[in-house]
Structure 1
Amino acid sequence: MTATLNFVSPPPGLAPLTDFQLNEIAGAAGLFALQSADDERTRLFVLDASVYLPDYSPVISDEHALALELTDPDQAMVLVVTNPGETGTTVNLMAPIVVNATTGRCAQIILDGQDWPLRAELTPLAEPEPAAG
């Protein structure tokens, strides 16, 4: 999957950049490279929260939903920024990137007043149990 994303305002630390390409990483469902359309050196790795964090349920304001032109929760794709490190990978749950999957409009939203960590340890997904034979 490849998509063009347009931030309604530059993501924190990336001003003035607002136009990005979201490119799925081959062989890793739900893992994407988010690369600036204007500066190819600017790239973040993001995860589809619905794939890796099924219990993650951030609440966005009506104002944010309006800015992203979201009319139904099913239109929203929630991405989280990953931070690989020597001892493991963390994800930023305090500031998800919310995408209108229909239009590509998006915003990195800081979830004030919600109890989500800035650096949550990403734990491997459980392997399915083998079928009994």
Structure 2
Amino acid sequence: MSIALTFTVAPFGLEPLRSFTLDPVDGADGLFALVGTGTTDSGVTDPRLYLLDAAVHLPDYAPVLADEQADRIGLERAEEAMLLVVANPDAAGTTVNLLAPVVVNARTAVGAQFILEDQDLPIRAELAHS
């Protein structure tokens, strides 16, 4: 089931877009396509990013949002947060960005991509295959 999302600020590289659809990828549990509506400043129309649900693929990943970040998307409780990471597949495998997750308020469908402060997390972490 697709979810219409509104971002408080455009995700990195997708400026100025703030309206997206989060579509589950058939046959791939916890994998989503984030599809933008419109054209980015760099000229890409209806851009697409692949996101992994951290709860499914990275159960030990537990970043901490600053209060200001949680407030920006209206999080009242941690349980409301859907934590997603950008996946970058290439010939050598897949990496994920752990430093700048996409966080969605499941109650309101408002999201944002945050750069985590004071956390030593990689931008390109190898995704382990099970």
TM-score, normalising length from structure 1?
0.91
Percent of aligned pairs sharing the same letter: 51
SS in 2 for 1:21: strand
Query: What is the aligned partner in structure 2 of residue 60 from structure 1?
Result: 65
SS in 2 for 1:6: strand
Distance 2:105 2:46 in 1: 25
Q: Which has the larger radius of gyration?
A: 1
RMSD (Å), alpha carbons: 1.0
SS in 1 for 2:118: coil
Query: What is the aligned partner in structure 2 of residue 93 from structure 1?
Result: 98
Where do residues 104-123 of structure 1 align in structure 2 (5 Å cutoff)? 104-123=109-128
- Alignment gaps of 5+ in structure 1: 126-133
Query: What is the aligned partner in structure 2 of residue 7 from structure 1?
Result: 7
Deviation of the 1:111 alpha carbon: 0.9
How big is each residue's C-alpha offset from its partner over 1:103-133, in whole Å with a ceiling of 9 and x where there is no partner? 11111000121011000000113xxxxxxxx
Q: Which amino acid aligns with 2:112?
A: A
Aligned length: 125
- Alignment gaps of 5+ in structure 2: 40-44
How big is each residue's C-alpha offset from its partner over 1:68-105, in whole Å with a ceiling of 9 and x where there is no partner? 11111000000000000111000000000000011111
Where do residues 30-109 of structure 1 align in structure 2 (5 Å cutoff)? 30-39=30-39, 41-109=46-114
Q: Which amino acid aligns with 2:27?
A: G
Deviation of the 1:64 alpha carbon: 1.0
